[in-house]
């Protein structure tokens, strides 16, 4: 039974850096969502449909989406 115990080094394992350094995490991300929800109004059906149509046209050629764009670049909706 003692064969299954592993001894880990005393040094901490380095964290993997974020691919989006501007992205919020944890509490700050929750605060941003709460703030946006408090001041935004829901989209109407036609506006939401246009946003989805735009995303469909962007994705129909099969090319990968860019990762260096801000949040909401491809699909920016309010719910």
Band of residue 10 on the pLDDT scale cut at 50, 70, 90: confident
31-46 pLDDT, tens digit each = 777 777 676 677 788 8
The arithmetic mean of pLDDT across residues 51-58, rounded, is 90
47-53 contacts, C-beta under 8 A, 24 or more apart: 48/77, 51/75, 51/76, 51/77
For the chain, domain boundaries: 42-61+71-79
Q: What is the pLDDT of residue 40?
A: 65
CA angle 57, 62, 66 (to 5 degrees): 85
Q: Which residue has the higher pLDDT, 1 or 61?
A: 61
Q: 55 φ, ψ to 5°? A: -65, -45
């Amino acid at each position: 039974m003692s064969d299954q115990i592993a001894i880990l080094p005393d040094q901490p394992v380095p964290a993997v850096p974020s691919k989006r350094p501007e992205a919020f995490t944890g509490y700050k991300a929750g605060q941003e969502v709460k703030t946006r929800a408090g001041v935004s109004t829901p989209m109407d059906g036609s506006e939401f449909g246009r946003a989805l149509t735009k995303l469909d046209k962007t994705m129909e050629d099969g090319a990968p989406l860019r990762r260096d764009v801000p949040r909401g670049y491809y699909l920016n909706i309010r719910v």
